Structure 1
Amino acid sequence: MTEPGVSRPGRRGELGGYARAGFQHLTAAREGLADLARALGTADELALLDGLSAAADPDTALAVLTRIAEEEGPRLAALDAFAWRRLCLLVGASPALGEFLYRHPDLIDGIVARDGRLPSGDEARDELLAAVTPDGTPLAGEAGWNALRIGYRALLAGVALFDLTSAGAHGAAPDPRPAFEAVAAALSSLADAALEAAIAVGRATLLAEGATPRVAPEKFTDLRFAVIAMGKCGAEELNVVSDVDVMFIAEGDERAATALAREVMRAIQDPALELPLWQVDPNLRPEGRQGPLVRTLSSMLSYYDRWAKAWEFQALIKARACAGDLALGEEFVAGTRPLVWASANREDFVGSVQRMRERVTEHIAPEELPLQIKLGPGGLRDIEFSVQLLQLVHGQHDEQLQLRGTLPALRALVEDGYVARSDGERLSEHYRTLRVLEHRLQLRDLRRTALMPSDDEGRRVLARASGLARDAKELSSLWDRVRREVRELHLKIFYAPLLSAVAALPDEEFVLGTAEAKARLSSIGFLDPDGASRHLAALTSGPSRSAKILRNLTPVLLQWLALGTDPDFGLLAFRKVSEANREASWYLRLLRDGSLAAERLTLLLANSKYAAGLLEGYPEGVAWLERDALLEPPAPEALLSEMRSLVSRRPSAQSAAERLRRVHRREILRLAMGRVVGVLDEDAVARGLDGAHTALLDALLSAIRAHAGGESEAPEIALVGMGRFGGGELGFASDIDLIAVARGGATGTGPVSPAAKVVTELRTLVSDPRFPVDLDFDLRPEGKNGPLVRSIDSYRSYYERWSATWEAQALLRARHAAGDGSLSAEFFAMADPIRYPAEFREEQLRDVRRMKARVEGERLPQGQDPAMHLKLGPGGISDVEWLVQLLQLQHGAEHPELRTVSTLAALSGAARLGLIDADDAVTLEDAWRLASTLRSAMRLWNGRGTDSLPRDWRDLAGIAGVLGLPRDRTSELVERWHTVSRRARAVFEREFFGYREDELFPEVQA
């Protein structure tokens, strides 16, 4: 190490060199380095300093190495620069191994001069067995213990050096994490070898004279004895210092086996001249501490078959025969494998595992919670529990997941589509990061710990030792980020609702295409099991990642589809949506990651043909199911702005209309989805439909004007909403009633007037072959026989001279919908005196009553039961609206509260004014709301508009499914309508026609 002619560092800038090397106590370091140089007999302090700069904690390394040099100066002085640097690296990261080398300096040369590779399992086993059998005969008692522990620590020092050099000198190398798996496997091999050597020492100890007076020596000779590694050792991912979880299995004398198990544990963990290695923990055995320490193979298998709890099967995932009679151990492992992978079928299995993870966190001291690398939120246990739960739930049907190690299992989960690739990669990286930090913490004092240092100095040393950060601040930032992301991913995976659903499925659910599977499809509600099987085959066949993911998901999705009204249609629709989204990575993630989206999608497709049809044309709409906010309709202003922007970027009115219709369909789909899954109510749907329709009409008018041909501009017109559209009370089954108004001079009575051309073009452009949108102008003066568009003066002339009372009544729902708002304002200034007359004469009252009776007599479809007609039948929508409109005609001029286009707002105003009894108003509102809801639900269910409540059970079940009601109680739905409508009809006849109660129900009076 000495180089002649090299002098001690000069005084100028000397302390700066120590600081750059990582020392914290600079003056003490300068003096200590001088002492070390004297002990080594060298003047080359720079070479010593260079080696110490590799140490994670140079101050401590200097102190330990000085102690060794005082005793073994020539040995250390003989090391070359490479070996010296490796020694400093080892002692700086592990002062405890430095103390071990102080006790056993003869091992230094062999450790620091190793060839830089990890020992294989066989090499470690041979080396430790040789250590405890120096002359071919195993050492007994403490002599064997000490030989075992010395040999083990020498091997451990070599593994530690490999690990540290993979990170480089305080982070000089790129990343220590790729070496983690190899290091953890090597540590597991050392534990296996230690247990094997402990068995040899234990047998020798028990066979020594007088050691076991009650057990004959031949009992040990004939004894078959196996050690089963559990936990991290079983998974071959052991820590530097950790409890090694084991179970003992034996065939032979029970007392001999128990005595040997105790001696194995003593050889590794009892006090002796050489310090214990780690704790051997046998408490994962059947019945824990209360159970026998050793069991026979048959006793073990019987216990797991009859008595074991869910957590015990989770622990067995990692079980591995590691020492002793390996054949016996492998019999146990093979015998318990089927039980492990069938354990997820147990009742509440997923819930029990989730609760067990929560209990682990509850037992951590509050002050330690944010520092726990292993057990705390965002720590190693979050990753391990997530992986194991996924393994147990899905591994019963997927042998690729039946792995012991966390990282191999996580890779398999990603490859088979159970975990998103990006999520799996992040979890793998974070797992390695946390394990590297845990290893470095334990390596320092060879003490079992998983607590992140709370002080800056501790974190600085850990940062240098791990190579993951430059300083304490950077390490703290890394720790916070990793912990946060691990916790987020754990909560996302560990509490996914799909896990519980998959775990609850019977085994035969996963075997598709067989006769048994078809019978099962029939039994859960599929009417065409052959067709369902074809759809499933199309979805799940092939080696693609999407097919794998869908194979995992379809058993659960089938269960959910079967809960819908028409699972056959739902499965066909699901196939179409899945094929349309085949290239979209977000789609499979949305289904797999277990938010509400998957369940909502099946609910939607099996319960609403209307929504399913729209979704087929806009399959990306599935993404909205993930969050309630995405199912809320946009603000009307925002939607109108979007549509107008589309118009400005299109070369023709036709191309603009195509884009506008797509946006319109998108918003209708959003509303349908929101209603079926229960995010929106009828009022929200009405507002959303109104916003979508008005934005479409306004934008189309803008497109017509922007791309008008000829020399003159298209005339300005206003569209006035009528009926339920005018009242802002649309449902999915409602028409879009309109009248068109133009300025004087732009209209005429002929069909080719400029304004009429605009309206005709509007009706053409709004027509959507994929989603019918019909504009109904039949409420205009003279109906179908009148001109399509009129001027204000023409409307005024008509209403003053020719209009019937019912036409003034129709104006009560008129409001501006689209186009020229100022023109609409002029129209309403003309219409208000007509719809809110200062005087409502008796003959006008008779006209309204006569017209209502005529509507009931003539417009009700022939052959239909009036009591089932939601619009025109007794107590239906027409009764409520005609009564409210009569009150508006009679009192609207006097009371501003009644001057509203909303039926329910006018009804509420009439009740406040005392024009109708408050209880009667509630009765009418209940009937109107129920009828409107049922009409919309029928459209959502089968895609067809109808005004009658069906009698067919399947259609009634469809309505109930849309409304989230039990489908097996459809008769109650009909009875509810009959009850509500009967009460509403009684109020209507009394208030509208003036009938007395005894005239309505003479049988009650009698």
Structure 2
Amino acid sequence: MTAGAPVGRRRDSRFGQLLRRGFTDPTQAVRLLDSGVLGAAGEDAALLDGLGATADPDLALAGLVRLVEAQPEGGRSRLVDTLAAAKPLRDRLLAVLGASEGLADHLARHPEEWQALVAFETADLHPGLAEFEAALAGAADPDALRRAYYRALLTIAARDLTGSSGFAETAAELADLATATLRAALRIACAEAPGDAALCRLAVIGMGKCGGRELNYVSDVDVIFVAEPAEGTGEGPALQAATRLASRMMRVCSDTTAEGTIWQVDANLRPEGRNGPLVRTLSSHLAYYRRWAKTWEFQALLKARPVAGDAELGEEYARAVGPLVWQAVERENFVPDVQQMRRRVESSVPAAQAERELKLGPGGLRDVEFAVQLLQLVHGRTDPELRGGATLDALAALAAGGYVGRQDAASLDASYRFLRTAEHRLQLHRLRRTHLMPTEEPELRRLGRSLGFTVEPVEELNAAWRRHASAVRRLHEKLFYRPLLDAVARLEAGQARLGTDAAHERLEALGYSDPAAALRHLAALASGVTRKAAIQRTLLPVLLDRFADSADPDAGLLGFRKVSDALGTTPWYLRLLRDEGAAAENLARVLSAGRLAPDLLLRAPEAVALLGDPEGLRPRPRAALHQEIRAAVGRAATPEDAVAVARGVRRRELFRTAAADIVGAYAPEGASAVEAAPLEHAAALDQVGNALTDINAATLAGALHAATAAQSPEDAAACRLAVIAMGRFGGHELSYGSDADVVFVHEPAEGAGEQRAAQVAFAIANELIRLLQLPSNDPPLLIDTALRPEGRSGPLVRSFTSYAAYYRRWSLVWESQALLRAQPVAGDVGLGERFIALADPLRYPAGGLPEEAVREIRRLKARMEAERLPRGADPATHTKLGRGGLSDIEWTAQLLQMRHGGEVPALRTTRTRAALAAAREAGLLEPDDAQVLDEAWVLASRVRNAVMLVRGRPMDTFPTDPRESAAVARYLGYEPGGVGRMLDDYRRTTRHARGVVERLFYES
């Protein structure tokens, strides 16, 4: 054994002891302990244990060495000896040094202030405003005030970090310290300008967390200023003087010097915000709140509290604005306004930070605060017990009053305390304002240890955070709806804490226009002691939340009752909704989005099962649909039964498509908001168009099979028949309300005569149309054959030879244009392909279009604009024939296809968007022009789909009914109240498109 081995073993043993105590850099720790700065205390196990109990032992040791080094001569030994002898002081000081670099820096600048932690008398454990005022009383200038403020902050942090104070006490102490600081700052400002002080009475109203006595360690302090002239002073001079005093008071707190800064004073919650005067008279405040204030301003006034200046004026302000706060619930759109504000707060969080946000993100502090404040505003009008400013006090009052279940309130209380405490610890570290969870392991470790997680700090912290955030995410439905349902369930027994009138009021505030009917539905669904009712009471909070967030909550709730009445005895229905969270949420969104999807669902409620299957909302391939329908049609006893089966499959698939569209299953991730790029919305639109085309093609093929089977075997064998899709059907651009444009082509089978084949083909086509027109509860598939040669005057079915002869001799330019979208969808595949080969030279003429043909197309377009726009329709908002609408863009694309398709193969497509893209790639369209046309076409198509989903009937313009307009806006991604913006955006987009059309279609 070498001579150095014992030394090495001692070093390793010492390192091990430090690591076990939580040090992460034992080498640096040994160096500091052996430096002699701490003397014999460096070997003291009690000191090492004290360091090991802190959030960051390495940080605590470094801070302690700095503090001892900074002591004046003779002070080092006193500090070290006191630490060794006094465990309470050691715990307080080391806890602060291990959690806060910022306070360690303050102690290093003012090394004597550690003595503020020497002893806490019983009266000092929970100081109030008077004690803090006394602590700041001697501060005669801003720097003295900053030093006194940080000295007081040091004692608050010490109590907090050692567990002498809980979160609520700490937040209240911080608010009281802020109040005392504001008073001291105003005193300094008045002393600097006694002339101004003599001209006015100035009151400072605390807002936000300061007003609610729940302040953070580092936070802006929100205030409002109200002033009145002193006796004998005019209002103008008084307000000018008050403004100077208020501005100076704010600078005293906000300016940064060598002593640091206290905090920013924020007066932006005042009337008109930054644009309004800093100081107003009481009458000016009241006039603004009565005439101009928005809902969020009354929400902010919930926490208003006089904190400094003229106490009598402050109380007068509070008495005057209080009634206005509790009347705010009567305002139109009150709840939607509050909810919109909450969504705006969430959307303001950068995507990269959303999952780290303790305050603004999903499951964060704002979720709790907004929900509690909304319930206060809704019920505080009639229940004064709910009018407290602090969130936890208000939550307790809501629980005591029966507005929130006690278990729910306890869970939210615990989650709120955890999140706020984590926020406090984060801010204490460097005394900086932050709400973001750290990402680096050392910082997570420090935070976890500061919250009491000592075994696996990072893992335990993350698990607790996820648990609490998940609980808070559910707060909206728990707080808003659970008491309502519990009340409904007990109404018959007269045991409900929440009476009928209060339930009506709550439902009305949440957007239900017929609260009485809504209560009846809830009672029917949730009353009783059956298992079904119990499951409904579990489900309804999520559903009601979605209904209230829609344009027509009443329709959503009514639809849910109808579906539940139809399926309530089916074992799988409620189990699906209970166990598959996505199914319940998707159902609520589908039922509240308009009429079409609920109507489809109510005709076959078992389609609810699609909403719980991850694959359930994916469009089925055309081949699978063809196979299913063909098999079902083949088993049917009669043609009528066969088509009924095919229609049933179509109904189910239409519901699948509409539901997927409504819940956003077709939209690319991140494209749900209206600000998303229009081309991203186009991806969802293309999927809808493809799905609807495949559904109709499969249905048409099934009907054709049934119509053919209705003929005798000999007749059926006499001809081959193909169905050619035209128009939007052939372009895969169907909307929910589109007809199916088709033409029929036939040819004799081998050995059959022309005349007999023509008769059979005519019989089959007529039978197909008849079968699809049979009365039914299923959505109709309307067949339109007007695009055949000679239009409605021509024969319904032509032979291939007849088509060839007609197109060779008589075809008009519009008929060639109509062929641009021709595509076989049913019947004889080979015949369909030959028809397309026949059409190609007409729709893509070699050498391009003659000039007279171009003029004819332009003439036809102009005539259509003049004659076909419905009387009274607004050309600026008609999606099909209006300026910059579908017709404008499609005719422009088609003219390019007919002029250049012979030379540019990429233009040979039946799809409008693909044609525009091909023209751009070929240099026939400028990229900007192509984008303008594409965006307008996508928007107009989405509007048509939205209108059909909402109204259940097709319409080519925006609905006039306010609820329907609001529902269309929601489908398009606009927030509540966005109808005006929707219309403005539509007019702007189509106006730009019209400008391109006039230049390209009419002038080029």
Task: Give the structure 1 partner of residue 180 of structure 2.
Answer: 193
Specify which of 114, 119, 123 is matched with residue 120 of structure 2: 114
Task: Give the structure 1 partner of residue 64 of structure 2.
Answer: 65
- Distance across 1 between alignment mates of 2:572 and 2:491: 20
Q: Displacement of 1:69 after TM fit?
A: 2.0
Matched, 1:74 2:74: no
Matched, 1:257 2:260: no
Equivalent residues of 1:112, 1:158 under 8 A apart: no
- Distance across 2 between alignment mates of 1:321 and 1:540: 45
User: Judging changes above 3 Å, is the alpha-carbon distance between structure 1 residues 397 and 107 closer, same or farther for their aligned structure 2 residues?
Assistant: same
- Structure 2 counterpart SS, 1:156: helix
Please list the CA deviations of residues 289-344 of structure 1 after superposition, one character each: whole Å capped at 9, or x if unmatched: 33222222111111211222233222212211122333322222232223223334
When structure 1 is superposed on structure 2, of 241-250 and 106-115 the one drifting more is: 106-115
Which runs of structure 2 are paired with 1:366-515 in the superposition (5 Å)? 367-393=352-378, 395-396=380-381, 399-413=384-398, 424-468=409-453, 470-471=455-456, 473-474=458-459, 477-478=462-463, 481-482=466-467, 485=470, 488-489=473-474
Which runs of structure 2 are paired with 1:910-949 in the superposition (5 Å)? 914=760, 917-918=763-764, 920-930=766-776
Specify which of 201, 214, 229 is matched with residue 237 of structure 1: 214
One-letter amino acid of the structure 1 residue matched with residue 527 of structure 2: E
User: Judging changes above 3 Å, is the alpha-carbon distance between structure 1 residues 919 and 549 closer, same or farther for their aligned structure 2 residues?
Assistant: farther
User: Judging changes above 3 Å, is the alpha-carbon distance between structure 1 residues 629 and 61 closer, same or farther for their aligned structure 2 residues?
Assistant: closer
Q: Displacement of 1:49 after TM fit?
A: 1.5
Equivalent residues of 2:185, 2:249 under 8 A apart: yes
Matched, 1:580 2:528: yes
Which runs of structure 2 are paired with 1:572-651 in the superposition (5 Å)? 575-581=523-529, 584-593=533-542, 594-595=544-545
Task: Give the structure 1 partner of residue 150 of structure 2.
Answer: 153
Matched, 1:87 2:93: yes
When structure 1 is superposed on structure 2, of 422-431 and 181-190 the one drifting more is: 422-431
User: Judging changes above 3 Å, is the alpha-carbon distance between structure 1 residues 447 and 589 closer, same or farther for their aligned structure 2 residues?
Assistant: same
One-letter amino acid of the structure 1 residue matched with residue 27 of structure 2: T
Task: Give the structure 1 partner of residue 14 of structure 2.
Answer: 14
User: Judging changes above 3 Å, is the alpha-carbon distance between structure 1 residues 461 and 628 closer, same or farther for their aligned structure 2 residues?
Assistant: closer
User: Judging changes above 3 Å, is the alpha-carbon distance between structure 1 residues 443 and 730 closer, same or farther for their aligned structure 2 residues?
Assistant: same
User: Judging changes above 3 Å, is the alpha-carbon distance between structure 1 residues 238 and 43 closer, same or farther for their aligned structure 2 residues?
Assistant: closer
Specify which of 280, 288, 296 is matched with residue 303 of structure 1: 288
User: Judging changes above 3 Å, is the alpha-carbon distance between structure 1 residues 613 and 85 closer, same or farther for their aligned structure 2 residues?
Assistant: closer
- Structure 2 counterpart SS, 1:315: helix
- Distance across 1 between alignment mates of 2:767 and 2:155: 88
Task: Give the structure 2 partner of residue 52 of structure 1.
Answer: 51
Equivalent residues of 1:184, 1:239 under 8 A apart: yes
Task: Give the structure 2 partner of residue 128 of structure 1.
Answer: 133
One-letter amino acid of the structure 1 residue matched with residue 63 of structure 2: V
Matched, 1:29 2:14: no
User: Judging changes above 3 Å, is the alpha-carbon distance between structure 1 residues 272 and 574 closer, same or farther for their aligned structure 2 residues?
Assistant: closer
- Distance across 2 between alignment mates of 1:105 and 1:896: 106
- Structure 2 counterpart SS, 1:308: coil
- Distance across 2 between alignment mates of 1:86 and 1:14: 25
One-letter amino acid of the structure 1 residue matched with residue 78 of structure 2: R
Equivalent residues of 1:241, 1:448 under 8 A apart: yes
- Structure 2 counterpart SS, 1:249: strand
Please list the CA deviations of residues 247-287 of structure 1 after superposition, one character each: whole Å capped at 9, or x if unmatched: 12222332332233233223323344533221111221122
Equivalent residues of 1:125, 1:194 under 8 A apart: no
Unmatched tracts of structure 2, length 5 or more: 1-6, 231-237, 586-590, 610-634, 647-704, 719-743, 747-756, 781-950, 955-1004
User: Judging changes above 3 Å, is the alpha-carbon distance between structure 1 residues 468 and 916 closer, same or farther for their aligned structure 2 residues?
Assistant: farther
Please list the CA deviations of residues 124-143 of structure 1 after superposition, one character each: whole Å capped at 9, or x if unmatched: 4344345424xxxxx64x2x
Specify which of 594, 601, 608 is matched with residue 680 of structure 1: 601
- Distance across 2 between alignment mates of 1:687 and 1:307: 46
Task: Give the structure 2 partner of residue 939 of structure 1.
Answer: none
- Structure 2 counterpart SS, 1:188: helix
Equivalent residues of 1:380, 1:434 under 8 A apart: yes
Specify which of 268, 279, 286 is matched with residue 294 of structure 1: 279
- Distance across 2 between alignment mates of 1:90 and 1:923: 84
One-letter amino acid of the structure 1 residue matched with residue 219 of structure 2: S
One-letter amino acid of the structure 2 residue matched with residue 579 of structure 1: S
Which runs of structure 2 are paired with 1:640-719 in the superposition (5 Å)? 677-680=598-601, 682=603
Q: Displacement of 1:380 after TM fit?
A: 2.4
Q: Displacement of 1:29 after TM fit?
A: 1.0
- Distance across 2 between alignment mates of 1:55 and 1:608: 55
One-letter amino acid of the structure 2 residue matched with residue 240 of structure 1: Y
User: Judging changes above 3 Å, is the alpha-carbon distance between structure 1 residues 382 and 684 closer, same or farther for their aligned structure 2 residues?
Assistant: closer
- Structure 2 counterpart SS, 1:580: coil
Q: Displacement of 1:888 after TM fit?
A: 7.4
- Structure 2 counterpart SS, 1:447: coil
Task: Give the structure 2 partner of residue 100 of structure 1.
Answer: 106
- Structure 1 counterpart SS, 2:216: coil
One-letter amino acid of the structure 1 residue matched with residue 158 of structure 2: L
Task: Give the structure 2 partner of residue 766 of structure 1.
Answer: none
- Structure 2 counterpart SS, 1:387: helix
Please list the CA deviations of residues 676-721 of structure 1 after superposition, one character each: whole Å capped at 9, or x if unmatched: 9435365777999xxxxxxxxxxxxxxxxxxxxxxxxxxxxxxx99
Q: Displacement of 1:456 after TM fit?
A: 1.2
User: Judging changes above 3 Å, is the alpha-carbon distance between structure 1 residues 580 and 12 closer, same or farther for their aligned structure 2 residues?
Assistant: closer
User: Judging changes above 3 Å, is the alpha-carbon distance between structure 1 residues 10 and 455 closer, same or farther for their aligned structure 2 residues?
Assistant: same
Q: Displacement of 1:491 after TM fit?
A: 7.3
Task: Give the structure 1 partner of residue 189 of structure 2.
Answer: 202
Matched, 1:225 2:202: yes
Q: Displacement of 1:149 after TM fit?
A: 2.9
Matched, 1:248 2:225: yes
- Structure 2 counterpart SS, 1:449: coil
User: Judging changes above 3 Å, is the alpha-carbon distance between structure 1 residues 887 and 361 closer, same or farther for their aligned structure 2 residues?
Assistant: closer
Q: Displacement of 1:473 after TM fit?
A: 3.2
Equivalent residues of 1:230, 1:315 under 8 A apart: yes
- Distance across 2 between alignment mates of 1:608 and 1:46: 68
Please list the CA deviations of residues 165-208 of structure 1 after superposition, one character each: whole Å capped at 9, or x if unmatched: 129xxxxxxxx9xx21121112111111222222333322323x
Q: Displacement of 1:13 after TM fit?
A: 0.5
Specify which of 276, 294, 299 is matched with residue 314 of structure 1: 299
- Distance across 2 between alignment mates of 1:628 and 1:464: 35
- Distance across 1 between alignment mates of 2:335 and 2:605: 37
User: Judging changes above 3 Å, is the alpha-carbon distance between structure 1 residues 894 and 418 closer, same or farther for their aligned structure 2 residues?
Assistant: farther
- Distance across 2 between alignment mates of 1:439 and 1:106: 26
One-letter amino acid of the structure 2 residue matched with residue 264 of structure 1: M
User: Judging changes above 3 Å, is the alpha-carbon distance between structure 1 residues 585 and 410 closer, same or farther for their aligned structure 2 residues?
Assistant: farther
